[in-house]
Structure 1
């Protein structure tokens, strides 16, 4: 069979509230972010492994709170003074890498009258912080945890990813994929992309057999 050229033309991932699927694994985190005006000390740490939706939730909160979004590793190069008393989100706080003093300064600027959201894969005690004042403030911050996506969430994400690519798949494909794929939203995105590319290259529809070929050769990771 002649192989066809395949191009991945999927659009940029939408990170709005309308595109966020609520499930038992993330409902508490969403409610907690919605109540940001009530956070103790005007701060919150959102904890969860990669692929659980931390970035999506952060974008939702930033849009609704009018927050500035920063990455922890970049804090040392940011002029923090204009952020005083504003809502600020800092992603990957557990990868702070040499910017501990900047995060400490940002914390003190923001929490007086603004709000500070930090995301991390692990609790602050595991960040390896060496600045004692920062460590004490981070460990005293309230936390909310995102669990690994459950079956309902992974199913909804897969259905939307296929729909975004205008791909019709057999009804039994979704539970088959959910039962065998790694449990992360990133893995769902990678899997749908791989299936689409292989189906285009082979000129075949996406079926359980095609999915088995992709999964059995080790993807997605």
Structure 2
């Protein structure tokens, strides 16, 4: 039921200004700003789904004119390279990209949802040598900020009480925060009800099996 409602519209698009800094992602953000200091001109950002990795690559791409690629044929005249979600590439393809950037001394930014492990020993060795920063799961402050800002982007006025209610009801991760906001917005439109405290409480009890509200 929840997934069906979430599929009614395309996912919300976020801009650079939407990146929320916290202790969980500060090292990754600073690494993007000071990319000239990357050891061997390479950085791998590891973080959970929806933690802002792609947004960080967007910041770096816009600041440096880097190019997002999926295979060696995409290089063309690229001087700085991004490979987002390295888990989605074939191992041979990823090895070729890393080798290509090594041969030409090109800065390379990689992202992954978790610490990668591959079948190819050669690839594991190359990944092991790359400098890594980890985006942690959000703490209470960051999760509440994500909820508040996501509602604001949808032009939904929300109270601190509703934010606290949602925080107590969802899993403490990035994906759950973005999902519940989209779900509340879509359910509000379907039922033609305003996003009030009683509405949110009712929704959480019905769809999130929360009974201590």
| Shared fold per TM-score greater than 0.5 | yes
2:22 — aligned with what? 23
Per the alignment, do residues 201 and 133 of structure 1 end up closer, same or farther by CA in structure 2, a change over 3 Å counting? closer
2:195 — aligned with what? 206
| Preserved CA contact (<8 Å) 1:10 1:164 | no
Structure 2: distance between partners of 1:8 and 1:157:
22
| Correspondences of 1:48-87 after superposition (within 5 Å) | 48-70=47-69, 74-75=70-71, 79-82=73-76, 86-87=79-80
| Preserved CA contact (<8 Å) 2:44 2:110 | yes
Displaced runs of 4+ in structure 1, greater than 6 A?
7-11
Structure 1: distance between partners of 2:119 and 2:109:
18
Choose the corresponding residue for 2:106, options 103, 110, 114.
114
Q: Secondary structure at the match of 2:45?
A: strand
Offset from partner CA, 1:22-63 (integer Å, 9 cap, x none): 011111110112111110011111111212211111211221
Per the alignment, do residues 36 and 219 of structure 1 end up closer, same or farther by CA in structure 2, a change over 3 Å counting? farther
TM-score (norm. length: structure 2) = 0.82
Tell me, yes or no, if structure 1 residue 142 matches structure 2 residue 131. Answer: yes
Question: How far apart are residue 217 of structure 1 and its match?
Answer: 3.8
Q: Secondary structure at the match of 1:118?
A: strand
| Preserved CA contact (<8 Å) 1:46 1:143 | yes
Tell me, yes or no, if structure 1 residue 93 matches structure 2 residue 86. Answer: yes
Q: Secondary structure at the match of 1:23?
A: coil
Per the alignment, do residues 173 and 141 of structure 1 end up closer, same or farther by CA in structure 2, a change over 3 Å counting? same
**How many aligned positions are there?**
202
| Preserved CA contact (<8 Å) 1:65 1:87 | yes
